Structures are given as structure tokens and as C-alpha cells.
């Protein structure tokens, strides 16, 4: 349709150019049907959802859709599972919940995906349009509630908009810096006829993102690297999202420079790689932290200088370094740290270009220094005959093979997993980093196992976190998901206890989980076998036994509440003040 505005012919090209019509199976029908058709055309294979009044028409239409629906036991699981599905598969994850309480139950998970820049599309039911704004039954303003934690959102007021909105939602969620996009669908809208189900090509004039970095800047970066004496690459989640892991590895090998990763960047360089100094930040390795502190060139890729890395002390972080910051989100550049060489673009494309231009710097003294630190401050733990969490993780790495997926909950067990599980590749270690959401791990394991039915999935959880979504044992059984649940059972909210121990004079407050159930009996009540492990000798056999069982298994590892995660940069302290290695 062309439009005449003030005598000028404005070509409205987006609405006249249709997708290749033959590839579309969408036919006219009610909103619910058209929605599912368009989702199927987007390549959606599975929706994690939970029904309710406002979605009855959609659930009815679902019976005739090829899309698989997974029904967890809580909406929070729907969104976390979609999140993990996206992290594992690289596709956009999809979840769905009814209006009011259903939608509200998604909020934590939406925030989680937003903080870690994960592409998901969230579909919520809503009260009929004529009741909107009247405090009607099960009405919440979910778009309003989620403005700060969505990349974008839609409240659909006209069923004819459904095809366009769904297409836009997937485009926005999955491109640029990915993130959650919410579509709120009033009950009458999904029941209304859609006459034209063909989605127009996406044309969003106000939505832009960079892909290729500025070549002049990449040239500058290459020059800075060639001249540097103490370079370090600081790699984050953006490396994984953009698929830059392999080229990052080639780059650090060609230039022979050291690399540290964030919690989100774990797996971007395989564990054990000689150039990898480990994780940086609060529970990172001492070498990684000292390297960042001492470097003269910091090559930050797909990171956002989170305060778990910088301690929130921008004036004491990498103060001697020139900073190259490569990120797809221009707003991240200069947000926390002054950057000398900003490069806005897709991490993979930028690193590929940098790889072409790179001249290896001559840095034998730097490597000598780094190796000295590594020798002096290895990541270690006391093996005193007790059952150490670290042993469990190392053994899991041994028996689980190269391809096992690990999802974690939040707490000490998460940090031990980040430190000690040998992650070999991108999209293998799934954790709630930015939001630190207890209860994420089990839903994430479900999403991961649905995305990769043939891969081994370990859930590393704590007794506190596990009980935040323990009801998903039922989902695991219903969908026969062979998740191996590694429960680090210390009887306490361990991480909180650690802070009280270290920074509050051991004044322990509300960290005892006194009435913990017998987790094995709980598992067994769902038909899931359980194994209890209390000594280090039992670890390997128990893991092997669990792996030999075809379905889900829970291993209840009884560990001491007194264990602490070390090293640790105390809150608000510079990374040189790291504890646990006598720096």
C-alpha cells in the first residue's frame, strides 16, 4: 500500500512485501490458530506453558498444532526452561502463561533472561480488551510490570496484528543484544478472526543494531595488541551468544595471549587450555584477577564490567590498562569503564577481523609472571578425607564426558561448579549469572534436556535452591527427562552462611534449613531413584551408577556446612585484596 502524505508518495514497502508465501502454512482463522501457525513457521518446536482461563482458546487450538507443549508445575519453570532452551540451542525459547497470577509468576524468569541477554518470547493471556484497566478477575498489567526487564513488549489490541507482532518479537528477541520480548494477548483477541495470516517482512525503522565492527577501530585494536607488553582478553557471555568461541580460541593461540572469562563466558575457551587463566571476579582465580589488575591492555569482549567482576570500583579496576571494548550494545561502552578503543559490533565478526590483522606481541616476561602466579596460587582445596564439593565436580567432569551439559542453581555449589567443573565448549554451562536466581537450575535442566534429548544433563543444585522448584520432579518423570540431579546438601543456605561467617562475625541468622526432607524419599515418591553419598570414596561409583540408570536420578551428596568458596574478593574490595591465597 502506498500512502499519500502531504502530496508526497511514501512507499510503505514493508507491508507490501510478503514472506515467501509457499513456505507459509498459515491460513486464515482465529487469532489462536494463526498465532500457533506463525510460531511454527518461525521454527518453534516446543512451548513451555501453563494454561488458564484467558488462554483456553489457545490451548484448544494447540490440540491441532504440530508444536510440542511441555507442562511444568509452575510458571517460573516455563520461563526458566525456555531461557535454558535458548542458551543451549541458540534458538529463541518460547513460554506461555495465563493472565494474572500466571503472568506474574513469570516475572522472576523474565528478569533472569533480561540480565543474561537471553532470547525468549513470552506469551501471556490477558483479560478481554473491554475489561482492560478495570481490575477484572486475573488482570495484571504485565506489560507495565515488565517494562524494565523486557527488550520490548506488545499488548495486542487487534487480532490482525498477530502475524506481524509475532515476527517482530522473534526478530527483536534474537538479534542484536538478545533479550526477552513479551506478547500480551487479550482473550477476545485470540478468539477473533484474522483474515490475513501472512506476516509482513519485519520493518522496524527504530530498531537497529550493528554487526560488523568499524574496521579502523579493529585496526587500532590490532596495533594496540602488537605493542602491548601485558595483554589480557576478558571474555563474557557475548562471546558465546555470537558463536565467537572458536575464533576467540584461534585468536589467543595465534597471538599467544592470556584469557580470563566471566561466569557467563565459561566455555568460550575450553577448560584446561594453556592460555586460559580461569574465571575473573569475586570467586575467580587469583591469577585471573591479578592479571586483569596488572595488564596494560584489556581486550573486553561481550562483557559488561559487572560489579561481580569489578567490585563496583571502577577507579581501581585494571587501572594500568588501555581498554578495548567489543560489544554489540553501544550503551555498554563507557557505561562502567572508560574505553580507549570502543568497537560496536558482533563479537564473532569483530574477532574474525581482528584475527586477520593480529600481530603476536612479544610478551615472554608477562607469561613468566602469569605462570609464577599460577604456580603460587593454584585453584585448590583441602583434601582431608571429608566429602568435598570440589571432588564431586571434578569427578563429574571425568565420568560425564566432554559433552555433558551442566545447569546450576545459585549459591556456593554454583561457584564450585564454575571453578571446578571442566567445561569444554560454549553452550554447555548454564547458570543464572546476572540475577543469581535460586530455583533456576532445575527448570534450566528441563529446558536443556528438552533441547538436547540425547545429551547428558547434570543439575548442580543446593538444598535451598532445589526446594524453590522441587515440584519439577513431576515434570522430569512425566517427560522422561534423564536429568542427573547433583544435590549438594549442606543443610544450610551455604552462601549466605559464608558471608555471615566471613563478614558478620559468625553471627548466623536464618540460614539453617532445619526441616529439610529426606530428599531420596522425596525423589522416590515421584518414582525417581536416589543415591546418598557421604564419603569421597563413594563419589565415582555413585555417579557411574547414576549414569547407568536410563532415567532421572537424584544423588544426595552430604557435605559440610562449613565449607567456603575461595578465593574470594570481599565485597567492595579491589580484586588485589582477594582472600584465600595469601596474596
Partner 1 sequence: MLHTLAVLVENNPGVLARISGLFARRAYNIYSLTVCQTENPSISLMTIVVEGDSQVIEQVTKQLHKLVVVHKVSNLSEEAVVDRELALIRVKVRSDTRLEVLQTVDIFRGRVVDMGRSNLTIELTGDEDKINAFIRTMRPYGILELVRTGKIAVARSDN
Ligand X SMILES: Cc1ncc(C[n+]2csc(CCOP(=O)(O)OP(=O)(O)O)c2C)c(N)n1
Report if residue 132 touches ligand X, rule: CB under 6 A: no
Does residue 6 bind partner 1 (CB under 8 A)?
A: yes
Q: How far is CA 572 from CA 263, 284, 312, 455, 578, in A?
A: 19, 15, 7, 40, 11
- Interface with ligand X (CB under 6 A), residue total 20
CA dihedral angle for residue 203, residue 206, residue 207, residue 211, rounded to 10 degrees = 100
Instruction: Tell me whether residue 209 or residue 499 sits nearer to ligand X (CB atom).
Output: 499
Residue choice 5, 9, 63, 548 for contact with partner 1 (CB under 8 A): 5
Q: Which of 151, 167, 427, 497 binds partner 1 (CB under 8 A)?
A: 151
Q: Which three cell numbers stand for residue 5?
A: 502524505
Distance of CA 284 to the CA centre of its chain: 19
Contact between 126 and Mg ion per CB under 5 A: no
C-alpha to C-alpha distance for 384 and 205, rounded to whole angstroms: 63
Candidates 11, 17, 28, 331; binder of partner 1 (CB under 8 A) is 331
Residue 205 contacts partner 1 per CB under 8 A = yes
Alpha-carbon distance of 281 to 141, in angstroms, equals 38
In 269-291, which positions are buried (b, 16+ CB within 10 angstroms) versus exposed (e)? bbbeeebbbbbbbbbbbbbbbbb
Q: Can you tell me which residue has the cell 566455555?
A: 267
User: Which among 391, 566, 564 is positioned nearest to 486, based on CA atoms?
Assistant: 391
| Torsion from C-alpha of 37, 59, 102, 31, nearest 10 degrees | 40
CB of 325 to partner 1, least distance (A): 13
Binding mask 448-487 for ligand X (x = CB under 6 A): --------------xxxx----------------------
CA-closest candidate to residue 352, choices 218, 198, 200, 519: 218
Q: Which C-beta is closer to ligand X: that of 217 or that of 498? A: 498
DSSP calls for 143-184: HHHHGGG-SEEEE---GGGHHHHHHHHHHHHHSSS--EEEEE
Distances (CA, A) of 351 to 212, 230, 362, 521: 10, 19, 20, 51
Distant-in-sequence, close-in-space partners of 513: CB < 8 Å, separation ≥ 6 = 463, 464, 467, 491, 492, 493
Catalogue the E-assigned strands of 61-207: 68-70, 93-97, 120-126, 152-155, 180-186, 193-194
Of 438, 473, 533, 569, which one interacts with ligand X (CB under 6 A)? Answer: 438
CA distances from 186 to 50, 151, 158 (A): 16, 21, 9
Q: Does 164 bind partner 1 (CB under 8 A)?
A: no
Query: Please, what is the minimum distance in Å from the beta carbon of residue 508 to ligand X?
Result: 13
- State the binding partner of 413 from partner 1, ligand X, Mg ion, none, CB within 5 to 8 A by kind: ligand X
Q: Which cell is 162 given?
A: 498477530
- In angstroms, the CA 320 to CA 522 distance is 54
Residue 434 contacts ligand X per CB under 6 A? no
Choosing from 15, 138, 394, 508, the catalytic residue is: 138
- For residue 443, the minimal CB distance to ligand X (Å) is 12
Task: Identify the residue among 128, 188, 203, 207 touching partner 1 (CB under 8 A).
Answer: 207
Q: What angle do CA 149, 152, 153 make, to 5 degrees?
A: 95
* Cβ at position 430, least distance to Mg ion in Å: 20
Nearer to ligand X, 100 or 441 (CB): 441
User: Nearest distance from residue 561's CB to ligand X, in Å?
Assistant: 8
Among 92, 172, 430, 533, binds partner 1 (CB under 8 A): 172
Cβ distance to partner 1 smaller for residue 101 or 144: 144
Say whether residue 18 binds partner 1 (CB under 8 A): no
- Smallest distance from ligand X to CB 461, Å: 7
By CB under 5 A, is residue 197 in contact with Mg ion?
no
Instruction: Find which of ligand X, partner 1, Mg ion, none residue 143 binds, CB within 5 to 8 Å per kind.
Output: partner 1
CB 335 within 8 Å of CB 227: no
| Out of 103, 247, 493, 554, the residue judged to bind ligand X by CB under 6 A | 493
| 8 counts as binding partner 1 under rule CB under 8 A | no
Site for partner 1 contains 182 (CB under 8 A)? no
- Catalytic annotation on 495? yes
Q: Is 494 a binder of ligand X (CB under 6 A)? A: yes
Among 495, 519, 557, 568, the active-site one is 495
The single residue among 81, 120, 155, 266 that binds partner 1, judged by CB under 8 A, is: 155
Cell numbers placing 344? 560496536
**Contact set for partner 1, span 104-143 (CB under 8 A):** 143
Active site residue 137: yes
Q: Which residues fall within 8 angstroms of residue 443, CB to CB, at 6 or more apart?
A: 72, 76, 77, 78, 79, 80, 81, 84, 109, 469, 472
Q: Contact residues for partner 1 (CB under 8 A)? A: 5-6, 143-144, 147-148, 151-152, 155, 172, 204-207, 329-331, 334-335
Q: Contact residues for Mg ion (CB under 5 A)? A: 462-464, 490, 494
Q: Contact residues for ligand X (CB under 6 A)? A: 409-413, 436-439, 462-465, 488, 490, 492-496
Q: List active site positions.
A: 75, 137-138, 187, 495
Amino acid at each position: 500500500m502506498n500512502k499519500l502524505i502531504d502530496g508526497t508518495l511514501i512507499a510503505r514497502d514493508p507491508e507490501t512485501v510478503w514472506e515467501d508465501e509457499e513456505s507459509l502454512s498459515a491460513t486464515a482463522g482465529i487469532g489462536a490458530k494463526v498465532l500457533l501457525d506463525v510460531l511454527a513457521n518461525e521454527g518453534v518446536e516446543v512451548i513451555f506453558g501453563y494454561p488458564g482461563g484467558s488462554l483456553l482458546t489457545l490451548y484448544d487450538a494447540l490440540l491441532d498444532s504440530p508444536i510440542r507443549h511441555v507442562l511444568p508445575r509452575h510458571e517460573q519453570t516455563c520461563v526458566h526452561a525456555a531461557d535454558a532452551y535458548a542458551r543451549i540451542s541458540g534458538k529463541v525459547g518460547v513460554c506461555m502463561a495465563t493472565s494474572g497470577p500466571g503472568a506474574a509468576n513469570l516475572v522472576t524468569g523474565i528478569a533472569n533472561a533480561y540480565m543474561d541477554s537471553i532470547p525468549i518470547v513470552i506469551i501471556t493471556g490477558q483479560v478481554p480488551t473491554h475489561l482492560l484497566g478495570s481490575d477484572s478477575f486475573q488482570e495484571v498489567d504485565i506489560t507495565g510490570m515488565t517494562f524494565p526487564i523486557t527488550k520490548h513488549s506488545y499488548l495486542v489490541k487487534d487480532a490482525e496484528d498477530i502475524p506481524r507482532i509475532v515476527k517482530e518479537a522473534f526478530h527483536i528477541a534474537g538479534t542484536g543484544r538478545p533479550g526477552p520480548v513479551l506478547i500480551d494477548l487479550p482473550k477476545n483477541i485470540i478468539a477473533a478472526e484474522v483474515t490475513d495470516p501472512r506476516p509482513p517482512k519485519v520493518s522496524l525503522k527504530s530498531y537497529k543494531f550493528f554487526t560488523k565492527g568499524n574496521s579502523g577501530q579493529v585496526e587500532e585494536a590490532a596495533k594496540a595488541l602488537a605493542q602491548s607488553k601485558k595483554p589480557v582478553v576478558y571474555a563474557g557471555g557475548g562471546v558465546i551468544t555470537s558463536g565467537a568461541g572458536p575464533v576467540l580460541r584461534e585468536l589467543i593461540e595465534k597471538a599467544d595471549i592470556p584469557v580470563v572469562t566471566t561466569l557467563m563466558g565459561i566455555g568460550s575457551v575450553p577448560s584446561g587450555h594453556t592460555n586460559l587463566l580461569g574465571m575473573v571476579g569475586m570467586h575467580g582465580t587469583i591469577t585471573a584477577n591479578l592479571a586483569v589488575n596488572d595488564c596494560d591492555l584489556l581486550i573486553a569482549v561481550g562483557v559488561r564490567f559487572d560489579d561481580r567482576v569489578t567490585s563496583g570500583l571502577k577507579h581501581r579496576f585494571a587501572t594500568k590498562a588501555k581498554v578495548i571494548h567489543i560489544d554489540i550494545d553501544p550503551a555498554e561502552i563507557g557505561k562502567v569503564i572508560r574505553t580507549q578503543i570502543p568497537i560496536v559490533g558482533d563479537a564473532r565478526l569483530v574477532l574474525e577481523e581482528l584475527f586477520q590483522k593480529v600481530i603476536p606481541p612479544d610478551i615472554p616476561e608477562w607469561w613468566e609472571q602469569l605462570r609464577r602466579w599460577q604456580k603460587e596460587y593454584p585453584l585448590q582445596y583441602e583434601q582431608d578425607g571429608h566429602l568435598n564439593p570440589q571432588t564431586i565436580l571434578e569427578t563429574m567432569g571425568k565420568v560425564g564426558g566432554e559433552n555433558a551439559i551442566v545447569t546450576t542453581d545459585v549459591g556456593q555449589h554454583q561457584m564450585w561448579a564454575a571453578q571446578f567443573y571442566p567445561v569444554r565448549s560454549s553452550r554447555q554451562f548454564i547458570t543464572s549469572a546476572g540475577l543469581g536466581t535460586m530455583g533456576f537450575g532445575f527448570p534450566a535442566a528441563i529446558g536443556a534436556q528438552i533441547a538436547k534429548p540425547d545429551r547428558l544433563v547434570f543439575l548442580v543444585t543446593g538444598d535451598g535452591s532445589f526446594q524453590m522448584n522441587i515440584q519439577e520432579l513431576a515434570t522430569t518423570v512425566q517427560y522422561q527427562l534423564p536429568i542427573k540431579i547433583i544435590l549438594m546438601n549442606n543443610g544450610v543456605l551455604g552462601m549466605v552462611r559464608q558471608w555471615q561467617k566471613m563478614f558478620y562475625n559468625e553471627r548466623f541468622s536464618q540460614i539453617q534449613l532445619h526441616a529439610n526432607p529426606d530428599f531420596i524419599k522425596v525423589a522416590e515418591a515421584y518414582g525417581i531413584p536416589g543415591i546418598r553419598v557421604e564419603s569421597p570414596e563413594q563419589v565415582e561409583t555413585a555417579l557411574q551408577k547414576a549414569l547407568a540408570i536410563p532415567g532421572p536420578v537424584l544423588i544426595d551428596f552430604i557435605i559440610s556446612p562449613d565449607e567456603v568458596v575461595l578465593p574470594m574478593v570481599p565485597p567492595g574490595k579491589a580484586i588485589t585484596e582477594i582472600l584465600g591465597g595469601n596474596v
